Amino acid sequence: MCGIVGYVGKSQAAPILLDGLSKLEYRGYDSAGMAVYDGTKIEYEKAKGRLRLLSEKTHDGETMQGTIGIGHTRWATHGEPSEANAHPHLNEEETIAVVHNGIIENYAKLKEKLIKRGYNFKSETDTEVVAHLLDYYYKQGNDPLTCVTKVMHRVEGAYALGIIFADYPDQIYSVRKDSPLIVGLGKDGNLIASDVPAVLKYTRNVYFIENEEIARLTEDTIEFFDVDGQPIEKEAKTIDWDVDAAEKGGYDHFMIKEIHEEPKTVRDTLNPRIKNDTVDIEELGMSDDEIKSISRIRIVACGSAYHTGVTAKYVFEEMARIPVEVDIASEFRYRNPILQENELVIAISQSGETADTKEAVRMARAMGNMTLAIVNVVGSSIAREAEKVMYTWAGPEISVATTKAYSAQLVALYLLAMKFADVRGLLSADEMKSLITDLKKLPEQIEMLLGNKERIQKFANRFVAAKDVFFIGRGIDYAIAMEGSLKLKEISYIHSEAYAAGELKHGTISLIEEGTLVGAVATQENVYAKTVSNIVECKTRGAFILAVTTVGHEDIEEVADYVMYVPQTNRYFTNSLAIIPLQLFGYYVSVGKGFDVDHPRNLAKSVTVE
């Protein structure tokens, strides 16, 4: 969740640190800080709240002189948001500075031992333990690399670390265990960061640090070591994103920019996998025999990715006739699941670093099951942990509330279901061609929906004061309702819940009263009449009905107060269209309430800790 940036080179470090941290604000944070070696000592500054406060305190970094430094945006875990708990943390002599993403699980025991050895603590954080532990080993006469390896052998949990030593003013040390960290190879210096957007301005050549690896950076060298301090070789990767992809590009928020990028995202995910009127997923690396042998699919994911999994369950089961179970990753990993032989476990994650999903993959592999990752970030942890990987190629998604990555995941899952159905002999050539034709229409249809955003904005303005909102649907429409509800609640802070429409009379309808907004999704022809009946049940109890349906169902206007129409498409693919007006609705409600759309309170983009 936290953001880490480090720089060593020819330029002043602090402005570069601030710039890099600004590209990581999407990760979620409540305080920020920097440490820079100024030629004689480590100087540091911290601020509670938004990054601009740190920038103001340091006059955009100009008051902190020095060409080596580390910066951090903190999302509170141990200790409240405060300057004392903000990173960096230092030893008592202030000769070692540390920034940290993750959780040190055994920090309490380590802290107790360090206190007995005379160490004093100024914060409530687990990170300060690392600073004092480094100090303890350094005072025993160890060099910095040895100190780092000894700390790695002592601490338990997930962590990414950036470290500077005043006695070694030309070196940054970075360490990774189950928390993302990259190294950027620049022209005028080298960098470390939690994610690629932080370094794109300075380089496109990056190293992805693997688990339990150490990097030592100077102005013109980068060395890598294993947990025992032995040198290792690594190969740099070239990032092909356009730098503008990590900027707003004239839009008010990243979220609305990324909504407008959904047509391109769908094309980029779809087009390379359509060849000669069939689905060809080269990178999948699964033989036809392996696909035919799959007895069951288990999808594990969190948040919006979980909702794409719910859609996939309906598509896979009907199209490919493979039974599918969908699990919230945090539930899957802490129960004792029964996985069948030949059961494929599909893990879905935008960042590829989602802690619970990553552990679910490890658990499935340990049980002997084949794993397939559907992720956006090339070289991410989940992509490396899973046996098979399918990338969504959505480009960087900055807003915490996912939109284009969600759409890319849907398309990837459609293609996978079509591939499996085809291999298993369940799709004729004509059926495959028809499905592909509808898939190829999706980008243009999404663009058409975006052309109606002003109409949705006007409607959204009527409900900025709403207290409770309910979304209902059946089948795939229920999965759409779940995501529409999440989009609204996470950025507007309005209480919103999604229910299977058939469950209304089993308790939920008691909450419907005069003026309650009910969003009803009704795109599935086989359950359309049933959903309309549920709409009537809500309407007669005073609800205001927002309906999302396909063109041709104008009769719904007889029972709904406001209707959002989406173009007709194959029933499997309606989520890709119906979610667009719901994303826009959530966005405009949040804008109308004056909230920070891209950085909703208490949330982070990459949930890298439990």
Q: 313 and 307 in contact (C-beta within 8 Å)?
A: no
In 204-238, which positions are buried (b, 16+ CB within 10 angstroms) versus exposed (e)? bebbbbbeebbbbbbbeebebbeeeeeeeeeeeee
How many residues are recorded in the chain?
Answer: 610
Selection from 222, 183, 189 nearest residue 205 by Cα: 183
Beta-strand (E) ranges in 166-301? 168-177, 182-185, 189-193, 205-208, 213-217, 222-225, 231-232, 237-238, 274-275, 278-279, 296-301
Tokens describing residue 47: 């601020």
Phi, psi at 183, each rounded to 5°: -120, 130
* Helical (H) or strand (E) element with 374: strand 371-375
Reply yes or no: is the peptide bond before residue 567 cis, omega within 30 of 0.
no
Q: Per the structure block, which two tokens stand in for 70?
A: 């580390």
Cα dist from 299 to 2, 104, 366, 475, whole Å: 27, 29, 16, 17
Give the gyration radius of the chain's Cα atoms. Answer: 25
| H helices present in 219-323, as ranges | 254-260, 262-270, 288-293, 303-315
Catalytic choice (2, 147, 302, 538): 2
Q: Residues 146, 379, 76, 224: what is their CA dihedral angle, to the nearest 10 degrees?
A: 10
Among residues 121, 79, 83, 119, the alpha carbon closest in space to that of 103 is found at 79
Active site residue 2: yes
- What's the one-letter identity of residue 86? A
- Per annotation, catalytic residue among 150, 177, 388, 605: 605
DSSP conformation class of 165: E
Q: Which amino acid is at 186?
A: G
For 362, phi then psi, to 5°, come to: -60, -40
What number of other Cβ atoms are within 10 A of residue 296's Cβ? 16
Q: 187 in helix, strand or coil?
A: coil
3-state secondary structure of 56: helix
Whether the Cβ atoms of residue 185 and residue 206 lie closer than 8 Å to each other: yes
Active site residues: 2, 605
